[in-house]
Every structure is written in structure tokens, then in C-alpha cells.
């Protein structure tokens, strides 16, 4: 960790942002995989990371070869943490629909797990496009509504998107959209399993559900940095074409678009 002049403040882990050292390993790796994927687009580029949280991903993009990295987040506490922990990046507090940067000031905009939190999604996308230089890249991810609709509603999400809605929204602002999927699952089995867990939850039997499905306890990873060297071939294949088979659906949708 590139530590600044003062110690980074302690942050509560709520499940909605990565807190280095306190995030459960599966969730930490989900975010890590997305940033490693984005790292392939940032060499010698000026990058903006929208909804950067604590800045661990922003810092990774700099280490992946970016010329410079900005991070933007609406949370004052997260931005304070990022400024302390990753002094080699520049962080701002602000709204994703009012990005405090001039027109055409960056080459790449990265925004993971953001669009579903935004009420005015069209305005958010136009803001990301505004700060991009012509030909710049936009890399965005969101949960797949077809999968998460079977879970209890997420109170932090304003509007979740299906693959068709996601493509249509991005296609109205960006060109050359390439859609990827992360963590593909067998859809019928996933639905049955999720509904079973929800049913057993109602009878206060979540522990039984975990035993039936072979789920073990998940503990904090203890890791504070993203590291592509930890991944083998099978891990690197977790982000691939979202159209992988008739009964397969990704948990997350990842799109790469370009400003015309």
C-alpha cells in the first residue's frame, strides 16, 4: 500500500465497497477480476475511476501502466481513506452525474458496480462520455438483473439492468460496444438453489441450507492490494463472452465502449 502522510481511517465493511483487509475473499476477488480486466486498456492512458470507493482499484490501474489516475466517489469517508492510502492517485468527492473534470480530459473511464445505484442512468453515461477524449474507452459493469432478481431486493440499488437494457443504454451513448460476462452460472440450477436458500431462511434454517449446498464459512481475505499474479488460467477465463450457452448466465455484465 502506498501510504500517505497520515494513517488511513478505519471504514466499516457494509458489503457495498471494498475495504482492504476486511472484505470477504470471494467479494474481494470479484472486484479484483474486474480491475485486472480493465488493466488491459490503460497503458499510458489518463484514467478516471468513477465510484472508486477506497481506491484500491484505482491504485491497481496505475500499477497496470496508466499515466495517471483520478478517483471519484460520493462517500466522503471513502475518499479520505483513498487519499491517505494511495497518495500517487488523485481523488475527488462528488456525484457520478456531475463529474468535476473538464470535457475531454481522460482517455479511459472505468466504472464498476455503479450504474445500478444511479437514478438518472442516462445522465451518468453522458457525463462519462463528456470527460472522455474522442476515441476514449468506457468500461462499465453491473449485476445481471436476470440473476439478482431471485435475491432479496438490494436497498442500495436504484435500478438493476438486464443484458438487453444494459446494451441499449450504453449503445445510445457509446459505439463499438463489446459485452462480456463475469462468473457464468447454470441458470436453472442457480434459480432453484437461490429459492431454496430463501425458503429455508424464512424458517431460520440458513445453516441447513449452507450444509445442503456445500457452502463453507467465508472470512476476510486480509489482502489490501489487487494482484494479477495470483490468478491461473481458469481464473482469467471468468470474464468472457456473455453469450456462452443456452442455459448459462453471467452474474455480472461488463461492457467496453468507445467515444466516437
Note the pLDDT of residue 208: 64
Contacts of 2 (CB under 8 A, 6+ apart): 59, 85, 86, 87, 88
Note the pLDDT of residue 217: 55
More confident residue, 192 or 215: 192
More confident residue, 84 or 203: 84
C-alpha cell at 210: 449452507
Contact 127, 242 (CB under 8 A): no
Record: fold of 25-185+221-258? Rossmann fold (3.40.50)
Residue 243 pLDDT grade (very low, low, confident, very high; cuts 50, 70, 90): low
C-alpha cell at 29: 476477488
pLDDT at 30 over 50: yes
Note the pLDDT of residue 254: 97
The residue ranges of every structural domain in the chain are 25-185+221-258
Q: Residue 155 carries which DSSP code?
A: T
Instruction: Work out the burial of residue 55: count CB atoms within 10 Å of its CB; fewer than 13 is exposed, 13-18 middle, 19 or more buried.
Output: buried
C-alpha cell at 196: 431454496
Note the pLDDT of residue 17: 77
3-class SS of residue 212: helix
Note the pLDDT of residue 4: 43
In angstroms, rounded to a whole number, what is the distance separating the alpha carbons of residues 260 and 257? 9
Note the pLDDT of residue 224: 83
Q: Which of 144, 107, 109, 99 is nearest to 256 (CA)?
A: 109
More confident residue, 239 or 182: 182
In angstroms, rounded to a whole number, what is the distance separating the alpha carbons of residues 172 and 168? 6
pLDDT tens profile 173-209: 999 999 999 999 999 999 998 888 878 777 766 566 6
What average pLDDT does the segment 219-226 reach? 78
More confident residue, 12 or 195: 195
Amino acid at each position: 500500500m502506498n501510504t500517505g502522510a497520515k494513517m488511513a481511517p478505519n471504514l466499516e465493511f457494509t458489503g457495498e465497497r471494498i475495504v482492504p483487509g476486511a472484505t470477504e475473499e470471494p467479494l474481494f476477488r470479484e472486484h479484483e477480476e474486474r480491475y485486472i480486466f480493465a488493466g488491459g486498456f490503460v497503458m499510458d492512458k489518463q484514467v478516471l475511476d468513477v465510484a472508486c470507493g477506497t481506491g484500491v482499484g484505482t491504485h491497481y490501474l496505475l500499477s497496470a501502466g496508466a499515466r495517471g489516475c483520478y478517483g471519484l466517489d460520493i462517500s466522503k469517508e471513502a475518499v479520505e481513506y483513498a487519499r491517505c492510502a494511495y497518495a500517487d492517485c488523485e481523488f475527488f468527492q462528488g456525484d457520478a452525474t456531475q463529474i468535476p473534470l473538464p470535457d475531454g480530459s481522460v482517455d479511459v473511464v472505468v466504472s464498476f458496480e455503479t450504474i445500478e445505484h444511479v437514478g438518472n442512468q442516462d445522465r451518468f453515461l453522458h457525463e462519462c462520455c463528456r470527460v472522455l477524449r474522442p476515441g476514449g474507452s468506457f468500461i462499465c459493469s453491473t449485476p445481471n438483473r436476470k440473476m439478482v432478481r431471485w435475491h432479496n431486493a438490494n436497498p442500495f440499488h436504484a435500478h438493476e439492468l438486464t443484458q438487453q437494457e444494459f446494451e441499449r443504454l450504453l449503445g445510445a451513448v457509446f459505439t463499438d460496444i463489446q459485452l462480456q460476462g463475469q462468473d457464468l452460472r447454470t441458470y436453472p440450477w442457480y434459480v432453484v438453489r437461490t429459492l431454496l436458500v430463501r425458503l429455508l431462511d424464512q424458517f431460520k434454517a440458513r445453516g441447513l441450507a449452507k450444509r445442503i449446498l456445500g457452502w463453507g464459512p467465508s472470512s476476510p481475505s486480509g489482502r489490501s492490494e489487487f494482484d494479477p499474479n495470483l490468478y491461473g488460467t481458469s481464473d482469467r477465463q471468468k470474464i468472457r463472452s456473455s453469450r456462452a450457452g443456452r442455459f448459462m448466465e453471467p452474474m455480472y455484465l461488463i461492457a467496453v465502449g468507445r467515444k466516437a
